[in-house]
């Protein structure tokens, strides 16, 4: 067993390209998201699964391409949103971070009940073009991994196995988090499918798997044993937002001089909080007034 030194994502192929594997350990990443958003246990688990999924989906992108995962169910948690890119940078949020729900009959966190079982999962790929591509599928359970499996089958016609897990400690902190995506390319035979299904069953719940201290490489070797896996990329995924004061300032200026004047007079300035990382950007009334004058002088 490898020694775990933190978060890691591995992208690999096996059986001469017939099997695609992406595995990620995201414990630190999810813990950071919990700190930033102040999420309670059920929202932490839902957001952690979505962020892990975003890291896996991001690994399928190239260069500066980004993807956005949106899970819009009818449950009390509201929207679950996560973004990822090919460099392992992910960010995300849940609409109601302070939701509290009783455990399921099995004593587990009720992520499915929080997300809801009616609704849709949307995956948007931003290829750097004017229009992004979005694929969608109906929710299966609200547990996110099963919903993503359904998405791949319905929207991309790719048989896939998706596992996502977050283990929460009694104090609400993140003990372990991570997941994997296994996909079969056209031409995969039944024997290969049966082998992978047996290994998936043997590994069991992925949140428990990570809690033993195993790494993404351990997971790859156990799932793809004897299939000659080839590692294509390996890097640490991280929570990274990228929002900055300059971008927020440009957004405020775009509202126009009258709106800026109203904010300055009624609120004594402007405070804009980023959805993705909860960071607040404050702009003093003097700054707003300078922008007002600048905008008005351009219209004279």
Q: Do 166 and 282 share a domain, yes or no?
A: no
Among the candidates 217, 239, 261, a domain finishes at 239
Q: Do 14 and 163 share a domain, yes or no?
A: yes
- Answer for the pair 213, 66: CB distance below 8 angstroms, yes or no: no
What is the average pLDDT score of the chain? Answer: 92
Given this model, what pLDDT does residue 4 score? 47
| Inside any domain, residue 2 | no
The predicted model gives 79-103 an average pLDDT of 96
What residues contact residue 41 under an 8 Å CB cut-off, 6+ apart?
109, 168, 172
Among the candidates 239, 262, 278, a domain finishes at 239
Among the candidates 239, 260, 288, a domain finishes at 239
| Inside any domain, residue 1 | no
| Inside any domain, residue 12 | yes
Task: State the pLDDT confidence band at 190, using cuts at 50, 70 and 90.
Answer: confident
Q: Do 198 and 86 share a domain, yes or no?
A: yes
Cβ of 71: how many Cβ atoms within 10 Å? Answer: 27
Cβ of 49: how many Cβ atoms within 10 Å? Answer: 32
Q: Do 134 and 194 share a domain, yes or no?
A: yes
Could you tell me the residue range of the domain that residue 292 belongs to?
245-298
Digit-coded pLDDT (tens) for 21-60: 999 999 999 999 999 999 999 999 999 999 999 999 999 9
Instruction: Record the pTM.
Output: 0.90
């Amino acid at each position: 067993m490898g020694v775990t030194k933190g978060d890691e994502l591995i992208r690999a192929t096996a059986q001469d390209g017939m099997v695609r594997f992406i595995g990620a350990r995201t414990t630190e990443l999810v813990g950071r998201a919990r700190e930033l958003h102040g999420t309670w246990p059920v929202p932490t688990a839902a957001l952690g699964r979505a962020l892990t999924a975003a890291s896996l989906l991001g690994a399928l992108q190239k260069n500066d391409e980004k993807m956005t995962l949106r899970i819009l169910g009818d449950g009390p948690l509201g929207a679950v949103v996560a973004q990822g890119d090919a460099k392992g940078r992910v960010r995300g949020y849940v609409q109601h971070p302070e939701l509290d729900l009783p455990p399921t009959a099995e004593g587990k966190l009720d992520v499915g009940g929080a997300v809801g079982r009616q609704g849709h999962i949307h995956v948007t790929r931003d290829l750097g073009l004017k229009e992004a591509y979005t694929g969608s599928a109906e929710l299966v359970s609200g547990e996110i991994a099963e919903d993503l499996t359904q998405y791949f089958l319905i929207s991309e016609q790719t048989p896939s196995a998706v596992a996502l897990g977050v283990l929460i400690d009694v104090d609400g902190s993140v003990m372990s988090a991570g997941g994997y995506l296994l996909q079969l390319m056209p031409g995969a035979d039944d024997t290969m499918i049966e082998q992978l299904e047996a290994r998936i069953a043997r590994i069991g719940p992925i949140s428990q798997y990570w809690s033993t201290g195993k790494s993404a490489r351990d997971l790859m070797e156990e799932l793809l044993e004897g299939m000659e896996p080839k590692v294509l990329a390996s890097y640490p995924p991280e929570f990274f937002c990228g929002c900055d004061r300059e971008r927020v300032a440009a957004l405020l200026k775009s509202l126009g001089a009258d709106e800026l004047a109203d904010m300055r007079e009624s609120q004594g300035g402007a405070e804009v909080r980023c959805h993705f990382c909860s960071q607040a950007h404050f702009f003093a009334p003097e700054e707003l007034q300078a922008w007002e004058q600048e905008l008005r002088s351009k219209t004279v």
